[in-house]
A and B are shown apart, each in its own frame.
Chain A
Amino acid sequence: DTGVSQDPRHKITKRGQNVTFRCDPISEHNRLYWYRQTLGQGPEFLTYFQNEAQLEKSRLLSDRFSAERPKGSFSTLEIQRTEQGDSAMYLCASSSAGVTKETQYFGPGTRLLVL
């Protein structure tokens, strides 16, 4: 059983550049989540999808952030005009909605450093 995968694992960019991250969930999972984790903190929810529909977005998700899940499979998270404060670990997770003990399984994360 293949787990959640994320690409790239590491990204270094200059302030003002755009970056895009990809997440491939566990194949039978219909929910996909994005979280952000800064140093010394637990992950913070950004947004989630059920199939293609984006059901919830956090106030943390500024208008520079956009996420898509066009075919209900993989998802992309784009950050436009990156700022140094965007430096963080971006975690993706997936789950199956409606099952007993619904559990989110996480990918390895993408570490972003904005210079």
Chain B
Amino acid sequence: AQKITQTQPGMFVQEKEAVTLDCTYDTSDPSYGLFWYKQPSSGEMIFLIYQGSYDQQNATEGRYSLNFQKARKSANLVISASQLGDSAMYFCATGYSTLTFGKGTMLLVSP
């Protein structure tokens, strides 16, 4: 069984600042992946970043990085230099053939 916990219902950040979105996970799988998706108001889930449980380094994709702390079972998303277009829901997920998602965090970026 897998579980994702996102404790921040909403986050507020000013443009050009960095923001961290929290995610903790619980899984019985010895090897697993961790994913972050962005969901704008249009509804489409947009893949952002992937971290494998055995990856030696934290994943980075442009302005997105994943702060992976395996012992703490956390996989926080860091967005650097926030932009207005980053305003959206953000979901953390884990799994392989099927994904288990958290409830999401709403990020609002202000000018």
* A contact set with B: CB distance below 8 Å: 31, 33, 35, 40-45, 48, 55-56, 58, 89, 91, 93, 101-109, 111
Contact = CB atoms under 8 A, between A and B. Distances in A.
A109 B81 CA distance: 29
Contacts of A58: 98
Interface string B16-50: 00000000000000000101010000111111001
Contacts of B100: 45
A48 B102 contact: no
Contacts of A31: 97
A41 B78 CA distance: 22
Given A42-B93, A42-B103, A103-B50, A89 B98 contact: no
A28 B50 CA distance: 20
A104 B47 contact: yes
B99 interface: yes
A106 B44 contact: yes
Contacts, number: 56
Given A103-B35, A103-B50, A93 B103 contact: no
Q: Choose among A33, A35, A40, A42 the residue with the greatest number of B CB atoms under 10 Å from its CB.
A: A42
B98 A33 contact: yes
B43 A111 contact: yes
Contacts of A108: 42-44
Contacts of B99: 33, 35, 43, 45, 104
A56 B91 contact: no
Given A42-B93, A42-B101, A44-B101, A107 B47 contact: no
Contacts of B12: none
A56 B102 CA distance: 21
B97 A48 contact: yes
